[in-house]
Amino acid sequence: MSRLSMACWLRALVGTHALLLQAAPSRCQVHMTYQDSPEFLNNPQRYILDHPEQFSAELQLMATYQATLTSDDYSIWRDLPAALEHCAGMSSGLQQKSMRADELAKIILAADPATLMNLAQDVTFEEKRHFFNALASLPVNDRGMAAIDGVVEQMVGAGELPLLGQFDGELEDVILKVGMANQALMALDQKYSTLFLAVRKVALQARAYTVTTQQL
């Protein structure tokens, strides 16, 4: 083969290769971009939303629609379940706090004067410091429950333990509000049937689709 023929053959081969790449770029590109992508395989919806240029309009609509449905605005109960879960967590927290307070109260009631003096030095608020100092100063032969109650009553009467007086009123106010919330929740549950909620879900999904198509 002459040098001129060899050059022509090489140019033809390069040209043919370029034409093949142009003829089928999409399959190669699609395969390389997402078909074996860990991000796509583990969260295809998120991947489609982040890389819309790689997908058809139909797939973009599907991913956007599914993402819209996850919003609290399109949930049957909106954020009510999350609020109830928060209340359940608060209830558990209060119970744990109560258990720790019970154990600490036993320690305080059985503490000797030296321990009470140490507690007085560690506390942050002045009123608690006065309380522990008062308990530590009780006579050794008179440290029973009656004597402790006398210390408490005397300090409350002198205004030295103001939070003890405030707590009961604030607690009653919270109990009342929680009771009202429970009554409202019970009324809501009794008023709306499962069938109604299914109809509401249909309406929400249809609205989500319309909103989605308007966004794209």
pLDDT tens by residue, the chain, 216 residues: 444 444 443 354 334 444 444 554 454 454 456 778 899 989 999 999 999 999 999 999 999 999 999 988 999 999 999 999 999 999 999 999 999 999 999 999 999 999 999 888 877 778 888 999 999 999 989 999 999 999 999 999 999 999 998 999 999 999 999 999 999 999 999 999 999 999 999 999 999 999 999 988
What is the pLDDT at residue 20?
A: 41
Q: What are the C-alpha distances in Å from 100 to residues 118, 129, 149? A: 19, 20, 21
All structural domains of the chain with their residue ranges? 1-36, 80-199
Q: What are phi and psi of 18, to 5 degrees?
A: -65, -40
CA distance 137 to 111: 12
- For residue 41, count CB atoms less than 10 angstroms from its CB and return exposed for 0-12, middle for 13-18, buried for 19 or more: exposed
Contacts of 127 (CB under 8 A, 6+ apart): 155, 160, 161, 162, 163
Question: How far, in whole angstroms, is CA 76 from its chain's centroid?
Answer: 19
pLDDT at 125: 75
CA distance 170 to 74: 37
Q: Is the model's pTM score more than 0.85?
A: no
The terminus-to-terminus CA distance of the chain in angstroms comes to: 59
